[in-house]
Amino acid sequence: MCIKNYALFFTACLVLLISSQAFMISAKHQVPVINSHLLIDNNQVIQNDFLGVNAVYHGFTYMPDNIMAPLSATEKNREFARVRAMELKIARTWYRPNWACATNLFSDFDWNSMRMQAFYQWLDKMKKLNVKVALQAGWFFPQDTYFGHITPDSTKNVERYAEWVSESLNQMINVRGYSNIKYLMLFTKPLNSHSQKGPEGGFSEPNFYAKVCTEINEKLIKTNLRSAVKLVGPNSGSTDTAAYVGWSVNKLNNVIDIFSWHTYNGQKYNTNPPSEYDGWKQIVDAGKRKVIKTNKPYWIDEYGANQPNENVRRTADYGNYIAQAVAAFTNSGAQTSLLWILFDQKYEGHTTNHDSFYKGIQRWGLTQSPQDSLSGPPKVYPAWYSFAIMSKYLGNYAPTKVYKTTSADSLYVVSTSAGSDLTVMVVNAAHSAKRFDVKFARPVYRPVYRTFNRHVYDPEKIRQYIGIDIIPSDKKFAAIATVFSDQIPARGVSIYTTKK
């Protein structure tokens, strides 16, 4: 073959390669002509008391630290401004005996300790921001029940522990007026992480958990605090079977008000690659089947992803991923879900480990901690923008309903309603743009025609959101009666809401 022919052949191949790449890129953005059909059956309510899209957000903002510089006033205000902007409804926070007990559980309770004072300041802010608090009744089980002692005592420690829980609530709710503390979390993963020192008295760890929870319940009844909070448990996980939920239903149904469990990566903690909508729905349905006979609500109290590694949470696609999770939880009837965690935060101590802890800062949040040693100014990770619009618009401060929906073609739809406010979320799990229409089973124009404001999370347009807290509305859909049509970008999340 002559040089001229080689040149022509090379040119033809290059043109073909460029054309194929252009086709692949355009295919991603090309919107199909045919609509996918999504249905909202607003005659059928699957959850009458939806509490919104919430998160684990620890009350560490004002905590002193003997090594690391505390947050500045500007940094604290920035954190609270984000909470205000997203209209967070519930924050689940860390709380342990060591904040009020100097050396051990039997020390005199010091409700004016440095750490308690710091915690009160955070509670002050939560109350002003209208955020309800889900307070941990300790974290580590059974270790916290014998804090400061080498071995547990299944009688003395349990009685004292229940006293600490009761007096904590008395000090916070009755004495200091934090009436926004509405939930009490009965440890975290109490039956999945086994202590090296089991409880004395012949108890297995599950039965010891039942004993402690029962003692707390009875103590709160005696001190007239039981009606102030709802008890949430067993907070177990992270398995694909909602481990210990069924056991708790049978053993603690007279104690627990709300059943809850964790899920990570869509199924098990080590599922890689993480499952998406169907995996999330599988785990919530597994627990739901165990709880349904009680007629009590259920929560997903932790969720997130860490596979193939922690960097997955820094990607723009993570915003779509957690939206699929929220859609799965909400469409399965969960009363709420709590993302692990809202912000990267500095914990007690200076641990570095495989769970994304670096010198005491856990990097699981949607924004980087100003206390972190990473170079450059603190970052807002892309998924923040997706999560913030879900928090702001899917939930409400008024009683909120969730409607039954029918999804199609890798598009998942969620709909909530509170008073005159109506919100629809569409999540595109496909890697290509989609056209769709949303049809309401019952007209939504009564008493007046509705105008929906659209807020779109597009993973490819993250730079447009830098410097803002909430993605603004970019389009209005006026005079909606029973149906509207739109298109959604690849791996996008769109919120349509009448809420201001």
Cα 398 from Cα 130, distance rounded (Å): 12
Strand partners for 47: 402
Q: How much is the CA Rg of the chain, to the nearest whole Å? A: 25
Reply yes or no on whether the pLDDT at 225 is more than 60: yes
pLDDT at 7: 45
- Express each pLDDT in 28-74 by its tens digit: 555 566 789 999 999 999 999 999 999 999 999 999 988 888 999 99
What's the rounded mean pLDDT across residues 111-120? 97
User: H/E element holding 184?
Assistant: strand 181-185
pLDDT given for residue 193 in this prediction: 55
**Residue 211 has what pLDDT?**
95
How do residues 125-172 score in pLDDT, each as one tens digit? 999 999 999 999 999 998 999 999 887 787 889 999 999 999 999 999
pLDDT score of 29: 52
Q: Which of 422, 316, 360, 411 lies closest to 58 in space, CA to CA?
A: 360
Give the relative orientation of helices 205-222 and 245-252 as an angle to the nearest 10 degrees. 50
Q: Using pLDDT thresholds of 50, 70 and 90, give the confidence band for residue 12.
A: very low
Q: Quickly state the pLDDT bin for 17 (edges 50, 70, 90).
A: very low
Model confidence at 21, in pLDDT bands (50, 70, 90)?
Answer: very low
* Residue, of 234 and 1, whose pLDDT is higher: 234
Of residues 243, 281, 235, 257, the one with CA closest to residue 414:
281
Q: Two tokens at 161? A: 């522990």
Residue 24, pLDDT > 50, answer no
Q: What is the pLDDT of residue 9?
A: 43
Tokens of 313: 């949470």
On the question of pLDDT at 399 being above 50, the answer is yes
pLDDT of residue 466: 83
Can you tell me whether residue 237 is helix, strand or coil?
A: coil
392 burial class (0-12, 13-18, 19+ CB within 10 angstroms)?
buried
Q: Return the closest-CA partner of residue 302 out of 136, 60, 55.
A: 55
pLDDT at residue 33 in the model: 62
Distance of CA 481 to the CA centre of its chain: 33
pLDDT at 479: 86
pTM: 0.91
Name the residue ranges covered by the structural domains of the chain.
Answer: 1-30, 32-46+401-497, 51-394
- Comparing 32-46+401-497 with 51-394, is the CATH topology the same? no
Mean per-residue pLDDT of the chain: 89
The answer to whether residue 292 scores a pLDDT higher than 70 is: yes
Superfamily of domain 51-394: Glycosidases (3.20.20.80)
Tell me the mean pLDDT in the region 411-439.
Answer: 96
- Average pLDDT of span 409-416: 97
Q: What pLDDT is stored for residue 424 in this prediction?
A: 98
| Fold (CATH) for 32-46+401-497 | Immunoglobulin-like (2.60.40)
Confidence of residue 404 (pLDDT cuts 50, 70, 90): very high
Cα–Cα distance for residue pair 482/495, rounded to 1 Å: 17
Q: What are phi and psi of 183, to 5 degrees?
A: -135, 145
What's the pLDDT tens digit per position in 333-386?
999 999 999 999 999 988 999 999 999 999 999 999 999 988 677 789 999 999
> Hey, how many other C-beta atoms are within 10 angstroms of the C-beta on 191?
22
pLDDT at 345: 96
